[in-house]
Amino acid sequence: MSRRFEYVTDWRFDAPIEAVWDALADVEAWPEWWPHVKEVSTLTPGRPDDLGALRRIRWGSRLPYGFTLEVKTITVEKHARLRGAATGALAGTGLWELRRDGAGTRLRYTWNLAVHTPWMRLAAPVMAPVFRWNHEGVMRDGMRGLERRLARGRAPVSDPTPAFDPPPSGVHPKKAAFR
């Protein structure tokens, strides 16, 4: 089995795209609403639109391990796309894509990664379903945190719809299409 993974997560919020963008683009505030983001440190500031910024992000997980990534902002298209390139225990690219959906916002996150930690590389062929389950839970908790943040802010949030591949147990949230 490959030691490379691709995870795609779709969310829908009844919040304007500007509010969702503002929350995502404020990476330093992620620990305030995303329980698994433990700390964010800016190592190198980017341009005013954040392009080129380099951050160290310390993550927790649903499993008894955490990891730290250095993430450089490599694409910024305001209210549309935000992409980072990560290095560290996991390496790859993460892409946030936003799209208006009526008065709300559809948000897709695509995480293409390779595992670099020796134990993860060894375990990957057997643990791939567990890694996926863990990722889905971390993302679901992030969705709920973002839902709460948006609800406290400008717009009510009533329909975050996660879309995940089924976890190993076969029990998962309702799928949503990203069109």
Structure confidence at residue 168 as a pLDDT band (50, 70, 90) = very low
Mean pLDDT over each residue of the chain, to the nearest integer: 86
Question: Where do the structural domains in the chain lie, given as residue ranges?
Answer: 4-152
Between 167 and 60, the more confident residue is 60
Per-residue pLDDT reduced to its tens digit, 128-159: 899 899 999 999 999 999 999 999 875 443 44
> CATH code for 4-152?
3.30.530.20
Between 177 and 37, the more confident residue is 37
- Is the CB of residue 120 less than 8 Å from the CB of residue 27? no
What is this structure's pTM?
A: 0.81
Whether the predicted pLDDT of 179 surpasses 50: no
